[in-house]
Amino acid sequence: KGFSSVNFFLSLYRFQAFVYFASVFQAMSCGIHYLASVFMAVTPNFVCGIPGNVSSVLFYNSSESSLEDIWTLWTSTENYIVVQLENGEIWELNQCSRSKREMSLDLAYEYKGNKSIFSCSDGFLYDDTKWKSTVVTQWDLVCEREWLAKLIQPTFMLGVLIGAVIFGDIADRLGRQRVIWFTSAGQFVFGIAVAFTFDYYSFVIVRFLLAMVSSGYLVVAFVYVTEFVGIKARTWASMHVHAFFAMGIMIVALVGFLVRTWWVYQICLSIATLPFVLCCWMLPETPFWLLSEERYEDAQKVINIMARWNKVSTPCKVSELCSVQQDDLDGGRMGDNDTSSTKKHNILDLFCNWHIARRTITVWLIWFTGSLGYYVFSLSSVSLGGNEYLNLFLIGAVELPCYIIACIGMDKLGRRNTLIPFLILSALICVLIMFIPQDFNILIILANMAGKFSIGVAFGLIYLYTAELYPTIVRSLAVGSGSMMCRVGSVVAPFCVYLRSVWIFMPLLLVGIMALLSGILTIMLPETLGKPLTNTLVEATEMGRSKKNCSGKTPPAHSGVALEKIEMFGQETVSTEK
């Protein structure tokens, strides 16, 4: 029978439910910090500052006494503003330069006489009708310093990449619990510290550290919850982690609407992590990691706590689990003479033959495209016209049903048959948006929501699909390399969004091309629904060519708890982070 979202929640015991929801609650803070810059680093309308007090302001045929009254009439960055100072001087103010009119007595917008051009040595004047303060206005990240503002999101995503690698490895060495404690506290501490940075460079450095701990938490939290949730509920559990990430995006939109000063906005967003920081010390270490480290007494204590929470009168014994595991592994060795499992594998094994190499290239492309499309649609939402806060909120909200559709599609239609149509659909939507007139704001927003929905289905699905496409001996390697491509996509995405200045549809064109190419190449991937996980590269190769294993044998069966343990460790890294 199909496994629904309702069944997922019903399948969780009390202890697992507490651990799961406590852990995924903090995933909201990851979504918050990942997208916080869309409002914190926004660039409002601006012009050069002036060396004196203003008596009159002229913009075309409109005359006002202050600049604040002119901003509502500002329509293009190519326009300029004419101001008259109290000492009688008349200046033309552009965005990155200013001109002093010579021998001009009358205040008029058009002027054909001589002008003296000056740089913006007196700073800049900003439109504060929407945002009272942003990091751009705080440190004048405009004109020749504009490139510094454009590096804010890419440097954050670089921290995401590095943090996932570092903390993922630390979690395997020191345990999931310690990393969850450290990264949770780090998100709160660094999140608050960002608001009190004294210059641009300290701001970028602290946000880089914030990105590392946020990414590290998301990676380890997924492993943590999947080691507590049963096999049947694991797909839905992973998807709901992504759903909480999307809720974080919605919180960004809400707080951005209510708070218009960047450092107050950052503090409000960081406070969302405080409840979990205060209670995360209650979370135990996972029994699976304790068993892998041969800390049997500690594992038994955690199992006993789980039994008391779940009102199980006779908890299982660690000694029984270990004996079953050892018997199964011994039987597997006797039944299979392939020695490849004892060999150390590297990235080159993902290109061991043409079939596996083609599979790897396709999978990497899907990971890259999913991440690129996800962040292009998210970061571009505030530039679609209309209410930018509502746009971002809707872009986040549309993810919630898309993960449910992904789970249902994977169970009913299969992984490949769900992935292909949604990748191609996202490409078609990108093309469709290009033909929508720019004054049809509502239609453009709805089309972008549809694009985010379709790419979100593909992005959420590829995690599990990758794990099923590769054999046990290189499964973690395959998923890890795919997630690296995912992070490369997240680093490239902000630069892709900046290409709107070249052509407004350039980001959509790039995403559409990548999605179409990925969808076409996915046709060559094998379907994995209902098929057993492969153990060797030979079996994985034959999975794409015939329905039978080339060896004519089925992998040795593992029973009961031992199977769950093996699958737990085999799929630890199935989902990493966005």
Hey, which residues does 82 pair with through a beta bridge? 58, 92
What confidence tens digit (pLDDT) does each residue in 478-502 have? 877 887 888 899 889 999 998 988 8
Is the domain of 487 the same as that of 433?
Answer: yes
**Is residue 511 within 8 Å of 426, Cβ to Cβ?**
yes
pLDDT at 39 over 60: yes
C-alpha to C-alpha distance for 241 and 228, rounded to whole angstroms: 14
Number of neighbouring beta carbons within 10 Å of residue 73: 13
112 contacts: CB under 8 Å, gap ≥ 6: none
**Is residue 511 within 8 Å of 376, Cβ to Cβ?**
yes
Between residues 545 and 142, the one the model is more confident about: 142
Assign 534 to helix, strand or coil.
coil
pLDDT at 280 over 80: no
Is the domain of 139 the same as that of 237?
Answer: yes
Between residues 476 and 160, the one the model is more confident about: 160
Domain-embedded: residue 259: yes
Question: Of 66, 97, 129, which residue constitutes the final position of a domain?
Answer: 129
pLDDT at 308 over 50: yes
pLDDT at 392 over 70: yes
| Spatial CA neighbour of 496 closest among 372, 313, 338 | 372
Is the domain of 214 the same as that of 352?
Answer: no
C-alpha to C-alpha distance for 248 and 374, rounded to whole angstroms: 15
What rounded mean pLDDT belongs to the chain?
81
List the CATH number of the domain containing 254: 1.20.1250.20
What confidence tens digit (pLDDT) does each residue in 500-510 have? 888 889 999 99
Is the domain of 405 the same as that of 519?
Answer: yes
Convert 377-428 into a string of H (helix), E (strand) and C (coil).
HHHHHHHCCCCHHHHHHHHHHCHHHHHHHHHHHHHHCCHHHHHHHHHHHHHH
Instruction: Give the pair of three-digit tokens for residue 443.
Output: 């239609």
Is the domain of 252 the same as that of 262?
Answer: yes
Is the domain of 254 the same as that of 360?
Answer: no
Assign 190 to helix, strand or coil.
helix
Output the pLDDT for position 76: 67
Q: 302 to each of 225, 519, 539, how far by Cα in Å?
A: 14, 45, 37
Using 50, 70 and 90 to split pLDDT, how confident is the model at 546? low
| Spatial CA neighbour of 269 closest among 194, 183, 216 | 194
Q: What is the mean pLDDT of residues 302-320?
A: 72
Q: What is the mean pLDDT of residues 11-31?
A: 80
By DSSP bridging, strand 90-93 and strand 81-85 are antiparallel
What confidence tens digit (pLDDT) does each residue in 60-82 have? 777 776 777 777 777 666 678 88
Domain-embedded: residue 487: yes
Specify burial of residue 218 (Cβ count, 10 A radius: 0-12, 13-18, 19+): buried
C-alpha 433 chain-centroid distance? 23
Domain-embedded: residue 337: no
| Spatial CA neighbour of 569 closest among 289, 301, 346 | 289
Is the domain of 34 the same as that of 58?
Answer: no
Is the domain of 432 the same as that of 385?
Answer: yes
Q: What is the DSSP letter of 55?
A: E
The gap between the terminal CA atoms of the chain, to the nearest Å, is 30
C-alpha to C-alpha distance for 169 and 34, rounded to whole angstroms: 22
Question: Of 99, 129, 159, which residue constitutes the final position of a domain?
Answer: 129
| 6-15, 38-47, 100-109, 424-433: which is most confident | 424-433
Question: Of 238, 258, 283, which residue constitutes the final position of a domain?
Answer: 283
Is the domain of 279 the same as that of 411?
Answer: no
Is the domain of 474 the same as that of 441?
Answer: yes
What confidence tens digit (pLDDT) does each residue in 176-222 have? 888 888 999 999 999 999 999 999 999 999 999 999 999 888 888 87
The single residue listed with the structure tokens 């709901």 is 240
C-alpha to C-alpha distance for 77 and 95, rounded to whole angstroms: 7
Domain membership of residue 442 as a residue range: 348-542
What confidence tens digit (pLDDT) does each residue in 442-470 have? 899 999 999 999 999 988 888 778 878 88
pLDDT at 8 over 80: no
Domain count, the chain: 3
Output the pLDDT for position 344: 63
Q: What is the mean pLDDT of residues 369-395?
A: 90
Between residues 549 and 536, the one the model is more confident about: 536
Is the domain of 117 the same as that of 38?
Answer: no
Domain-embedded: residue 144: yes
Domain-embedded: residue 298: no
| Spatial CA neighbour of 315 closest among 306, 327, 328 | 306
